Structure 1
Amino acid sequence: MTMSRKHYRQAAALLRDALPPKGKRQPTRTATVREIADGMASMFARDNHHFRRGTFMDAIFEDTK
Structure 2
Amino acid sequence: MEAAAVTQWMFVSECPVPNDVAGLMVPGEQPAAAHKTFRDSAVFTTTRLIVRDAQGMTGRKVEVYSPPP
- Shorter chain as denominator, the TM-score bin is under 0.3
TM score, norm. by length of structure 1: 0.24
- Kindly indicate whether structure 1 or structure 2 has the higher relative contact order, using CA contacts under 8 Å at least 6 residues apart: 1
